[in-house]
Every structure is written in structure tokens, then in C-alpha cells.
Amino acid sequence: MLRYIMKRFLMMIPVILGITFIIFAIMNFTPGDPAKLILGEEATAEDVAKLRTELGLDDPFLVRFARYVINAVQGDFGTSYRNRQPVFNEIFDRFPTTFKVAFFGILIAVFIGVPIGILSAVKQYSIIDTISTIGAMLLTAMPGFFVGMLLILLFALKLNILPATGISSWKHFVLPSLAVASVTMATFIRMTRSTMLEVIRQDYVRTARAKGASESRIVFRHCLRNALLPIITVIGMNFAHQLGGTVMIEAVFAIPGLGSHMVTAVRQKDTPVVMASIIFVAVVAGLMNLLVDILYTYIDPRVKTQYTKG
């Protein structure tokens, strides 16, 4: 198992290098001069040329990319063009906020979506199944930022029981987390329902019923455990996606998170901030996928046997 984990870590290296090269190329070839953005439109050509030389922007593309990779390996991801501060200081200041919103959102979606999916599969073609299917379709059709605005209108403006913006207390994370949960809850309901229906039709489930096993034992011991692998995969992928994809949610609720920080950096062509933020999110996403693979071994012994043999 340890060998497999080390192999997965080594496989992440070319992936991170590929992502780094693509983002570096995009930031390099998009219109806009970082030196002019830093100094302003009224800066003279001499000042702009001097700053470009200081920042190393006059060097060839591959030279700058190689220099960036070498510095990044040594832990130096550069300084922001806007405030001349180390980029990772801002990332570590903002990441906990984004992590809380994504984590609580996924947690709510799991504790609501998975049980509804199980109940929908067990009560197939019933009124419960119909209502959950229609609800999942409605949630799929509504973007997260739209749900967020509806939540603000209801709970912040009309009922006045929850704050609409800010992050100063736990109450400020309720509405953003619900908005994030709405995006993923529909996926969890549909995935859980489909995988449970597939497992329920297996021969060993019919055998367990024939032996007189209780329905709750069949559902939670035999069906759910075998249906958890794809569900956990979707949960891990959605959590990794939300870490870098809560831009609109953060904008609606005025949350100073990592997503809004990346959007601001892209607009101002702050290449070090964009590069460090995306690399950070990519590493976290890779670690989440690795964690999902490790969880497989504890849920399904057959998977652990494959890893041991490998």
C-alpha cells in the first residue's frame, strides 16, 4: 500500500508540471503588459522597460518558465505584481475561508443527498422517488449563484435571521454552504440512486432476502457498502472542484476567498498569484483523489487485495 501511495505521488509530478506549463503559457500569450498594469497608464516607456527588466519579462518564454519551475521547487513562487508580497501568504490567508465554504457545502450535500438517494432507490417508483427525482432535476437546472441570491432574499432580507455577507461568525457560512450544497446535492442524489438500484438487483441481495435478513441490514450492510465506491469518487471530485470553483458563490456573498482572489489576479494579469493559486488547487485536488483511493481499500477489501498484489 505504501508503494502505491508513493507511486501516486510520483505520478502527480508530471501532472503538476503540465498544468504549470499550460497556465504559464496562457498568462504569457494573453494581451496585457504586467509592467504597465503595475505602473499605470501614465507611466513612461523608460519606466515600463526598466520594470520589465527587473521582473525578467524580457527573457525568452522557455527561460522564464524554467526559472519559475526551479524557483518553485525551492519554495519560491514569486511575489505579487500588485502589492509586492509573497503570493503564498495571500493564498494561505484566503484558503481556509474557501475550504470552510466547500467543506460545509459538501458535508450538507452528503448528509442530505445520499440518504435521499438511498430512500429513492429503495422506494423506486413511489411518490418519494418521484419527488426526489424532480427535486434533483430542479437543483441541476439552477446555478449555485442563483440559489445563493434566492437564499439571501429569503433568509437575509425577508426573514432577517442570517447575514448575507461577511465571514466574521459561523452564521456567515450557512448561506454560502447551502448554495454550494445545492450544486452538488443533485449529483449525489442521482448517483446514489443509480448505484443503489444497480446493487439491489444483484444475486447476493436476493440471496440475503431469501435467508431472512432484515431490510435495513440488506440496505446498509450489503447494498450501501458495495455502492459507496462511485459515490465516494463523486464526493472527492466535487470537493476538489469546489475548492477552485466557488468564484461565483464568493462573489454573491462577498467572501474574500481563494476563488475571488484568482479572478482578480487574472484580470490584473498578476501571473505569480495565478500560477501559485492554480498549482495549489491542483495539488490539493491530487491529494483528494489519493485520499479517495485510500478510502477504497477500507470500504472494499477486494480493492486492498489488488493494491497488495500490485
- Residue pLDDT, tens place only, 45-99: 888 888 788 777 778 888 888 988 898 888 888 888 777 788 888 888 888 888 8
State mean pLDDT over 238-251.
Answer: 78
pLDDT, position 304: 61
- Distance between CA atoms of 215 and 30, rounded to whole angstroms? 60
Residues 247-266, mean pLDDT to the nearest whole number: 82
pTM, two decimal places? 0.79
Element (H, E) at 242: helix 224-245
Average pLDDT over residues 29-52: 78
User: Mind listing the pLDDT tens digit for each residue in 71-84?
Assistant: 888 888 888 877 77
273 and 265 in contact (C-beta within 8 Å)?
yes
- 3-state secondary structure (DSSP) of residue 172: helix
Per the CATH hierarchy, to which homologous superfamily does domain 100-259 belong?
Answer: MetI-like (1.10.3720.10)
What is the average per-residue pLDDT within 137-151? 87
- Inform me whether the pLDDT recorded for 139 exceeds 60: yes
Given a contact cutoff of 8 angstroms between Cβ atoms, the answer to whether 19 and 278 are in contact is yes
- Give mean pLDDT, residues 198-222: 82
The average pLDDT across 109-117 equals: 91
Distance of CA 59 to the CA centre of its chain: 35
- What mean pLDDT is predicted for residues 142-170? 87
Of residues 179 and 244, the one with the higher pLDDT is 179
Residue 222 has pLDDT above 80, yes or no: no
From the centroid of its chain, how far is CA 247? 11
Mean pLDDT of 292-300: 74
**Contact yes or no for 270/27 (Cβ under 8 A):** no
- The packing angle between helices 2-29 and 271-299, to 10°, is 150
Would you place residue 252 in the very low, low, confident or very high pLDDT band (cuts 50, 70, 90)? confident
The pLDDT, as a whole number, for residue 301 is 64
The C-alpha cell at 20 is 504549470
Cell 461568525, located at residue = 169
What are the sequence ranges of the domains in the chain? Answer: 1-82+268-280, 100-259
The dihedral through the CA atoms of 257, 259, 264, 268 has a sign that is positive
